[in-house]
Chains A and B, each alone.
Chain A
């Protein structure tokens, strides 16, 4: 094998057979031996191949249940693959999580030895590294206390300092960064970078795209047990976001489909309290529904920061109407009023809208942060005060996802100078 390659996997497949009715005892086997056990097959991994170079910080991302942890367990040798082969060049850390086998009844010192042994260190090695481990964990004062009396942060610190002193050439880590405060996470990452300088290989499974993009050299995107993409972290991360968006799109679509079916039943009961005095029949115009479209005119619910958004308000007319005015307001899901416009203030000729039966507002480059937003829309007569119809449907929301990790409601155009 090429010396530069630390870890190589070829066409790994793993299938879990989940029996619908688990027979765990001989008694059950004897009683039910004539019935055939029905297995539900679950393909955790299908034909996964990867190649990780020496000294690389490699990330594995994917949604829940996409097979990330299974892949890592196979790489660590905990599970054996159904087919395919793995080649490891160098010592691999056999563990995925911090503090495996910690015994709360033992002192911190004993747990260092216990955990260290499980991680494959010899007694002498641990003895040699012991002072360094304690120093890193900053737990000198508490080292003879029982671990059950430690705070969870202290436990994680202890576990991490043992883990990094395990000193293997290839490190596998499953969601380590999910625990611990931001200081600790930073400490972990700094240590990982140090590893990289020592030409050690790190494989990290994470949900945190920010971390993945910032630190990983390359990323692997898993989806339903298959490799969707391998490549530099930026490309894979954006692919992941796009996929998540289309998933979200489908979810919202299915939700609205379901809602429409429910509505047929509920319609008669559900009378909006605001318009109770005026039945729909007496209104000059009624808002039917609100749609979100992209600049090409196709329906969409999930947008990226900077995309164009068209809000379409469908309404129906009762009798002859010559002048109507429209108002649109964007609210975030936490009910922050983000932005509002109306045709009266903007002095828009609404004749076209009245003819078409719908009103379009084109928002160019929605510079909103990652969140869900909903629309409140109204139809007015000449003056804003004379409201004809109004909808406040927080179920008809659209979603915005930002690429980078900045925070806040809006996304301002910026540049570091």
Chain B
């Protein structure tokens, strides 16, 4: 409910705002597609659609982490007057990014149809697991970063730079096979690498990505997520007065 009103607030009086959600990633998509499909990856079939998968997932991640990190401070005026659980504020703020992601996903499916690579039900349900994991790591980050951001106000700039680094460290504009193997394993330190690469495999090649890798990923993710909830709970004490 809070997210719903949040959404309403966001779009009331600024219909362009809703359009921007699509414009921003798609402008980037068009530019990157133009540059790379013509210059570097001419002989790569389906480069466009691979780029799109990567970009949409990436946008979901970067938007939800940024918004989630900002959420507590942005709602400081309300938090100081009303008791609302902090996790509720963080999650409701990321709902907007999730919604934008689902719109983008619809467009992606149109592309998948157009390129005659539309996946089957099993592939889609595996893809759903990846989406949930991306949302999960976004929340994990937000739970850690939102209370920290209250105390360290330059965290947003640091995260912006880091996002830039992570963008190029994820196989979005290039296939992972394009880099030498020892660099590949380095890239897998970035959580988005695995999820994006696997999504591409599942959605476009209709293959099955390494299941053991996914299990390891989940095994690392779950304690991190629980840790972030614990951290948020621990830091929520005395947080509001320092806003």
Contact = CB atoms under 8 A, between A and B. Distances in A.
B152 interface: yes
Contacts of A361: none
B81 A78 contact: yes
A197 to B, nearest CB: 26
A113 B4 CA distance: 10
Interface stretch (A3-11, A22-30, A239-247, A380-388): A22-30
Given A105-B9, A110-B12, A95 B238 contact: no
A105 B241 contact: no
A76 B80 CA distance: 11
A16 interface: yes
A101 interface: yes
Contacts, number: 70
Contact of A79 (B77, B153, B240): B240
B5 A117 contact: yes
B9 A114 contact: yes
Contact of B241 (A16, A103, A114): A16
Interface hub of B4, B5, B153, B238 (most chain A Cβ within 10 A): B5
Interface string A116-137: 0111001100000000000000
B114 interface: no
A118 B3 CA distance: 11
A118 B241 contact: no
Nearest to A115: B5
Nearest to B80: A78
A80 to B, nearest CB: 5
Interface in B2-23: 2, 4-5, 8-9, 12-13
A94 B241 contact: no
B148 to A, nearest CB: 9
A26 B9 contact: no
A16 B243 CA distance: 13
A317 B13 CA distance: 81
Given A24-B151, A105-B9, A80 B237 contact: yes
B87 to A, nearest CB: 14
A372 B134 CA distance: 69
B82 interface: yes
B8 A110 contact: yes
A96 interface: yes
B78 interface: yes
Contacts of A114: 5, 8-9
A48 interface: no
Contacts of A16: 241
B82 A94 contact: yes
B182 to A, nearest CB: 32
A105 B82 CA distance: 21
A101 B78 contact: yes
A80 B84 contact: no
Contacts of B83: 76-78, 94-95
Contacts of B241: 16, 79
Contacts of A117: 1-2, 5
Given A80-B237, A123-B1, A27 B8 contact: no
B89 to A, nearest CB: 10
A128 to B, nearest CB: 14
A52 interface: no
A122 B1 contact: yes
A113 B81 contact: no
A16 to B, nearest CB: 6
Interface in A68-98: 76-80, 94-97
A164 interface: no
B212 interface: no
Given A80-B237, A114-B9, A117-B1, A101 B82 contact: yes
Interface in A10-26: 16, 24-26
A323 to B, nearest CB: 69
A26 B8 CA distance: 35
Contacts of A122: 1
A101 B2 CA distance: 11
B108 interface: no
Given A80-B238, A100-B81, A118-B2, A26 B154 contact: yes
Nearest to A28: B154
Interface string B112-152: 00000000000000000000000000000000000000011
A142 to B, nearest CB: 17
B237 A25 contact: no
A114 B158 CA distance: 33
A143 interface: no
A82 to B, nearest CB: 8
28 contacts: A24-B151, A25-B154, A27-B154, A29-B152, A77-B83, A78-B80, A78-B82, A80-B237, A80-B238, A94-B82, A94-B84, A100-B78, A100-B81, A100-B82, A101-B82, A103-B12, A105-B12, A105-B13, A106-B8, A106-B12, A110-B8, A114-B5, A117-B2, A117-B5, A118-B2, A118-B78, A122-B1, A123-B4
Interface of A: 16, 24-27, 29, 76-80, 94-97, 100-101, 103, 105-106, 110, 113-114, 117-119, 122-123
Given A24-B153, A117-B5, 11 more contacts: A26-B152, A26-B158, A78-B80, A79-B238, A100-B77, A101-B77, A105-B13, A106-B9, A106-B12, A110-B12, A117-B1
Among all A-B residue pairs, the 5 with the closest Cβ atoms: A94-B83, A25-B154, A77-B83, A100-B81, A114-B5
